[in-house]
């Protein structure tokens, strides 16, 4: 399939899945109800379920996944390792810690929290890079190890914050942390970040195609390495921050999706980035719909579902790479 047709297929699939997710949940709704609640003003309870709960949640899920997958694809180029992911490298952890501190201090605006998350993500990435980047080379194991250890550090910081938080905030904080979309009301902010991020990364995409072949080769082909590294670094942090503010830290999306897209044969970042963005949206939308229907009316945090997919895939790839 031509990459362009594949992108169109993903767009159509996204739309179909967003609509399909409106039917799923603890209350079964008819086609007519869904239709009328979307296109006619109505205050019936069934309409409210659609317009106030399911649609915003579906959109939030889509935006979060899209942000994470794009951030993952960018980080993988930056560290030239297909196992990189905002969660695995502890970037989500840094952003989440910053957001929790903000919550503890009484911040509530999503712009304020995103600002904090952005700073948290930048600090987290910077820490991992400083420690893992030695003698101009990225050792994959060293990088992953550093990421994991730093992520554990963020985990400890998060536990500390939770333990000193007032009890009435605790349940919400915990669910948000585990990757939960049930508190998502508006995703306008996440979609704006997504759109800006996608435009900026598309502008970089031809340079990314060169950078994946190594720093030295990229230099000989006219890339200003320092500038490009900083751009990717800031962009990936911003995308991660927006995703974390929207839905806490959902793991492995940024690693699973670009990998699956590459399996379809798309390796050119001019296609890979938009495809990963759509694919990430689809993955989290499907995972979240599953999370709220599997044991309905009980709901699971979506992070559990993505971890169930991501961890086996990660271990499989790690083992396969070790064999080569």
Partner 1 sequence: MSLIKCNSLSVKIAETQVCSNLDITINVGENWAILGMNGCGKTTLLHTLAGLHPVQSGSIELNKILLNNISRREIAQQLSLLLQHQEDHFPGTVLESVLIGRHPHLKSWQWESEDDQKLAQKALAQVGLSHFAQRSILTLSGGERQRVAVATLLVQQTKIRLLDEPVNHLDVHHQHEVMKLLTSNNMDIANMFVLHDVNLANRYCDHVLLVYEDGRTEHGSCVDVLNEENLSNLYQHPINEINHAGKHWFIAG
Interface residue list for partner 1 (CB under 8 A): 76, 80-82, 203, 206-207, 209-210, 212-214, 216-217, 219-224, 262, 267-268, 270
If the CB atoms of residues 52 and 321 are measured against partner 1, the closer one turns out to be 321
Residues 6+ apart with CB under 8 A from 146: 128, 131, 132
Distance of alpha carbon 202 from alpha carbon 239, whole angstroms: 14
CA distances (Å), origin 132, targets 19, 78, 166, 284: 44, 13, 37, 30
Distance of alpha carbon 311 from alpha carbon 119, whole angstroms: 27
If the CB atoms of residues 109 and 137 are measured against partner 1, the closer one turns out to be 137
- Residue 277 C-beta: closest distance to partner 1, Å: 18
If the CB atoms of residues 218 and 307 are measured against partner 1, the closer one turns out to be 218
- Residue 59 C-beta: closest distance to partner 1, Å: 30
- Residue 90 C-beta: closest distance to partner 1, Å: 21
If the CB atoms of residues 23 and 262 are measured against partner 1, the closer one turns out to be 262
- Residue 280 C-beta: closest distance to partner 1, Å: 18
If the CB atoms of residues 298 and 324 are measured against partner 1, the closer one turns out to be 324
- Residue 239 C-beta: closest distance to partner 1, Å: 20
- Residue 151 C-beta: closest distance to partner 1, Å: 22
- DSSP, residue by residue, 218-265: HHHTT--HHHHHHHHHHHHHHHHHHHHHHHS---SHHHHHHHHHHHTT
Distance of alpha carbon 74 from alpha carbon 68, whole angstroms: 10
- Residue 216 C-beta: closest distance to partner 1, Å: 6
If the CB atoms of residues 126 and 138 are measured against partner 1, the closer one turns out to be 138
CA distances (Å), origin 53, targets 49, 105, 182, 184, 190: 5, 28, 8, 9, 17
Q: Tokens 């006619």, residue?
A: 40
If the CB atoms of residues 84 and 250 are measured against partner 1, the closer one turns out to be 84
CA distances (Å), origin 173, targets 96, 98, 200, 208: 10, 13, 32, 37
Helices (H) and strands (E) in the chain, counts: 14, 2
């Amino acid at each position: 399939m031509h990459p362009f047709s594949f992108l169109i297929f993903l767009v159509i699939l996204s739309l179909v899945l967003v609509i399909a997710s409106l039917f799923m949940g603890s209350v079964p709704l008819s086609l007519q109800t869904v239709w009328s609640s979307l296109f006619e003003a109505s205050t019936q309870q069934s309409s409210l379920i659609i317009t106030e709960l399911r649609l915003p949640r579906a959109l939030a899920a889509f935006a979060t996944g899209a942000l994470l997958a794009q951030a993952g694809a960018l980080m993988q180029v930056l560290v030239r390792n297909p196992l990189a992911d905002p969660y695995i490298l502890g970037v989500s952890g840094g952003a989440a810690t910053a957001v929790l501190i903000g919550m503890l201090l009484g911040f509530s605006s999503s712009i304020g929290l995103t600002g904090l998350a952005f700073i948290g993500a930048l600090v987290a990435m910077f820490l991992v890079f400083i420690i893992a980047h030695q003698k101009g080379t990225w050792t994959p194991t060293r990088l992953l190890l550093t990421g994991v250890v730093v992520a554990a550090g963020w985990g400890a910081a998060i536990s500390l914050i939770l333990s000193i938080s007032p009890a009435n905030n605790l349940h919400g904080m915990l669910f948000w942390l585990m990757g939960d979309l049930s508190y998502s009301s508006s995703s306008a902010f996440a979609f704006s970040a997504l759109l800006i991020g996608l435009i900026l990364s598309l502008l970089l995409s031809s340079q990314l195609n060169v950078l994946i072949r190594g720093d030295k080769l990229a230099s000989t082909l006219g890339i200003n390495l320092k500038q490009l590294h900083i751009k990717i670094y800031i962009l990936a942090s911003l995308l991660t921050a927006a995703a974390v503010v929207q839905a806490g830290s959902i793991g492995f999306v940024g690693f699973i999706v670009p990998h699956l897209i590459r399996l379809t044969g798309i390796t050119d970042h001019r296609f890979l980035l938009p495809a990963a963005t759509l694919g990430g949206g689809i993955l989290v939308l499907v995972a979240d719909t599953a999370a709220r229907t599997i044991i309905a009316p009980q709901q699971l945090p979506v992070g559990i579902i993505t971890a169930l997919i991501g961890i086996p895939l990660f271990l499989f790839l790690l083992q396969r790479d070790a064999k080569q």
